[in-house]
Amino acid sequence: MNTPKTYRILISGGGTGGHIYPAIAIANAWKEKHPASEILFVGALGKMEMQKVPEAGYPIKGLPVAGLQRSLTLDNLSFPIKLLKSLRIASRIVKDFRPDAVVGVGGYASGPVLYAAQKKGVPTLVQEQNSYAGLTNKLLAKRANAICVAYPDMEKFFPADKIRVTGNPVRKDILDLSGKKGKAIALFGLAAERKTILVLGGSLGARTLNQAVLQDMKNLELEGFQLLWQCGKFYFKEMLAKLEESGLKHIHLREFIREMDLAYAAADVIVSRAGALSVSELSLVGKPVIFIPSPNVAEDHQTKNAMAYVEHGAALLLRDSEAIGRLKTKVDGLLQTPEYVKTLGENIKKLAKPDAANAIVVEIEKLVK
């Protein structure tokens, strides 16, 4: 009888849900196939991965690394010190853990860890979620063994012979939403007879989306809609105070929604930022989406993410600069045309890659074998 091989896999990165959840999905897919393996995460101290990864059942070590601020701040003076310290700690982690392969998903921690692994000759894989590659991943890709991407035409950032188009890994519970709507209505306290607009600004929140909701929520409720609104951690107290002043009964505010499968199941239309993870998840959900890309990201990559879907007739785009005052008009125009709603849902699902996590596992297997 063959004993399952014990692999050691090191996964690094984080900072936002867009990096953390794909990393956890990769770890889960690897564990399913190789249950005897040891998996260790490395994140940035103070960032959300230090909480989310242990909640998912995996150990994590933290680095003091932080990013450079775009404006001149005192924090930038400590950047070299934190980076050097992180490189030393990362080198020690790689030496002690002795990984068979190291996976970097982007975010501050992935730089020092993959750099340390590559210096020691450990096979490395970079997972780039966006249509525009981040600086850290571009630098690491030069010595990486494989680069898994979600979008075509990534040769402008990475060596073509290393690129594998796998898609972005997503949480397993959203792969099948059938039969979940009743549970969702009960959980969120929704009215079964009203159409539900799900608004997602990311885990930290998005000011423009929140202001757009504030502007139009009264008229949306009067027209018979209800909102399930994730406003984000930075804005929750402010939005809650304004909602309480309004006296509206069908605007359901949440700081953060953990039960995303149920939120998607409840939705008739989804309004969302266009981060890589959101876009990948929404393609699997197969519902009509209005993307409002954040303009405050490198090279406007969220607009590029959204346009990859808009150009296939798979989503609608509302510019951040136009969102306040136009959200209701966009929602009205969409929901008044049921055929268009159906077409958008069908087209976005055609672009889904539901097996992305397993495809990445196959690439890691090639490295360790």
What is each CA distance from 245 to 56, 103, 175, 249, 255, in whole angstroms?
A: 37, 48, 38, 11, 18
Check the annotation: does 305 bind a ligand: no
> What is the rounded distance in angstroms from the CA atom of residue 204 to the CA atom of residue 198?
16
Contact 10, 102 (CB under 8 A): yes
- Full DSSP string of 142-155: TT-SEEEESSS-GG
Check the annotation: does 257 bind a ligand: yes
Q: Indicate the burial class of 6 (C-beta count within 10 angstroms; 0-12, 13-18, 19 or more).
A: exposed
> What is the rounded distance in angstroms from the CA atom of residue 360 to the CA atom of residue 230?
30
Check the annotation: does 263 bind a ligand: no
Helix axes 338-350, 276-285, angle to 10 degrees: 120
**Bridge partner residues of 10 (DSSP):** 40, 102
Check the annotation: does 135 bind a ligand: no
Check the annotation: does 278 bind a ligand: yes
How far is C-alpha 318 from the chain's CA centre?
20
**Bridge partner residues of 165 (DSSP):** 149
Within 201-355, where are the H helices?
207-222, 236-246, 260-266, 276-285, 301-310, 320-323, 327-335, 338-350
How far is C-alpha 10 from the chain's CA centre?
20
Contact 29, 216 (CB under 8 A): no
Check the annotation: does 130 bind a ligand: yes
Pairing of strands 8-12, 101-104: parallel
Pairing of strands 101-104, 124-128: parallel
Check the annotation: does 302 bind a ligand: yes
Check the annotation: does 18 bind a ligand: yes
Check the annotation: does 331 bind a ligand: no
Contact 148, 125 (CB under 8 A): yes
Check the annotation: does 281 bind a ligand: yes
Closest CA to 364 of 5, 2, 4, 10: 10
Check the annotation: does 37 bind a ligand: no
Check the annotation: does 276 bind a ligand: yes
Here the tokens at position 348 are 């976005």
Binding site membership: which residues? 16-18, 130, 171, 203, 257, 276-281, 302
Binding site membership for UDP-N-acetyl-alpha-D-glucosamine: which residues? 16-18, 130, 171, 203, 257, 276-281, 302
